[in-house]
Amino acid sequence: MISLGSDNHSGVHPQILTALNNINTGHAPSYGTDPTTVAAKKLFKKIFGEHSNSYFVFNGSAANVLCLKSLIKSHHAILCAGDAHLNVDECGAPEQHIGCKVIHVNTPDAKLTPEAIEKHLIRRGDQHYSQIKVVSLTLPTELGTMYSFAELEAIKATCKKYDLFLHIDGARFIYAPYVLQKSMQEICSGVDALSFGGTKNGMLFGEAVVLFGDHPEFKFIRKQTLQLPSKMRFLAAQFLELFGTDLHTDIARNGVELAKYLESKLLTVPELRITQKVQANSVFVEIPQKWVKPLREKFFFYIWNETTFEARLMLSFDSTKEHIDAFYDHLLTIKTQLRGEQHETRSHRDRQQQH
């Protein structure tokens, strides 16, 4: 079965598997003191600037929680979009680990705006109210949309104006520099913490917490939160391969080009409605309810909205044009079959009415 369900469904990129294999010789010190981790951290400083510090962790929810925990206290609140992973898909982990409140803003494209942020900055200094102290945005968003560079700059300025921290959930951050044609450092200038994704972008597992500025206490927070990998070199080697070569750009290019190709195919089917701008590696599309079950017999995908039958179709590093062509052909077959059945039911009804 071909999955269009998630970029978590693909395996490990062969280049990364080779890098893992290459590092799998002899012994090395643990907990990040090995030469591979030292080299990967150096690479991250080159990418994000000398004032950044990177820490490798096991998964994305932990990266989010740890970024935010390094910035705020339990009487603070995080402001994010309603669709934000940390709001709806982390089982309350930020609330559990930080003790803070998460306040969300519902937006049609999962993007925050300065106006939406300002509207929520109420009761500042009121001891009865959780104080919004950090804005968290996802880049690209959970709906596959991308902030423009100007939109990002406007949010940065708003955060600065109101003395708020800015966090980016970058589970799929690799798409941002490719689409915006800006360096990772330019995108992150003015950002306080970045959850930097590896798993969804061809790695076996592993994410990075990138903190801008000094956080001498962070290493203790990571350990207490059970996210200090002992054989750290196996995370570091993957990051070195992904970001020390052009692999991240190749994966981003493949994801964006195929998403746009998929969009162009779906646009030819009048019964479908594309609901979001296609700006990263996913397409959101409303599908007639009756098509969903037969479609999923061959291609897995998630229904994002159970009431409108909006599906999320997502591409991975190993997705190909052939996968999309096969999906499209299957879709057209189902459409024809269901139309035939509908036609048959109608003529059966007509015949019955004649009797």
Ligand X SMILES: Cc1ncc(COP(=O)(O)O)c(C=O)c1O
Q: Which is nearer to ligand X, 112 or 334 (CB)?
A: 112
Q: How far is the CB of 76 from ligand X (least distance, A)?
A: 20
Tokens of 62: 């932990």
Q: Which parts of 46-65 interact with ligand X (CB under 6 A)?
A: 59-61, 64
Q: How far is the CB of 349 from ligand X (least distance, A)?
A: 46
How far, rounded to the nearest angstrom, does the alpha carbon of residue 32 sit from its chain's CA centroid?
26
Rounded to whole angstroms, how far apart are CA atoms 228 and 238?
16
Q: How far is the CB of 84 from ligand X (least distance, A)?
A: 7
Q: Which is nearer to ligand X, 15 or 59 (CB)?
A: 59
Q: How far is the CB of 92 from ligand X (least distance, A)?
A: 13
Work out whether 34 is an interface residue with ligand X (CB under 6 A). Answer: no
Q: Per-residue x/- mask for ligand X, residues 68 to 87, rule CB under 6 A?
A: -----------------x--
- What is the arrangement of strands in the sheet containing 273-274, beginning at the earlier edge strand? 273-274, 282-286, 310-314, 302-305
| Ordered DSSP codes for 117-163 | HHHT--STT-TTSPEEEEEEEESS-TTS----HHHHHHHHHHHHHTT
Q: How far is the CB of 199 from ligand X (least distance, A)?
A: 6
Work out whether 142 is an interface residue with ligand X (CB under 6 A). Answer: yes
Q: How far is the CB of 288 from ligand X (least distance, A)?
A: 27
Q: Which is nearer to ligand X, 138 or 275 (CB)?
A: 138
Q: Which residue is nearest to ligand X (CB)?
A: 60
Work out whether 171 is an interface residue with ligand X (CB under 6 A). Answer: yes
Q: Which is nearer to ligand X, 3 or 138 (CB)?
A: 138
Quote the Cα angle for 144-173-80, to 5°.
Answer: 65
Rounded to 10°, the helix 321-354/289-296 angle is: 130
> Could you tell me how many residues of this chain bind ligand X (CB under 6 A)?
10
Q: How far is the CB of 321 from ligand X (least distance, A)?
A: 25
Which of 199, 275, 282, 319 binds ligand X (CB under 6 A)? It is 199
DSSP 306: T
Q: Per-residue x/- mask for ligand X, residues 96 to 135, rule CB under 6 A?
A: ----------------------------------------
Q: Which residues pair with 303 in a beta bridge?
A: 311
Decide: residue 250, CB within 10 A, 0-12 exposed, 13-18 middle, 19+ buried.
Answer: middle
Work out whether 167 is an interface residue with ligand X (CB under 6 A). Answer: no
Tokens of 310: 């909006």
Number of neighbours of residue 257 by Cβ within 10 angstroms = 13
Distances (CA, A) of 329 to 108, 181, 320: 31, 34, 15
- Applying CB under 6 A, the residues found at the interface with ligand X are 59-61, 64, 85, 138, 142, 169, 171, 199
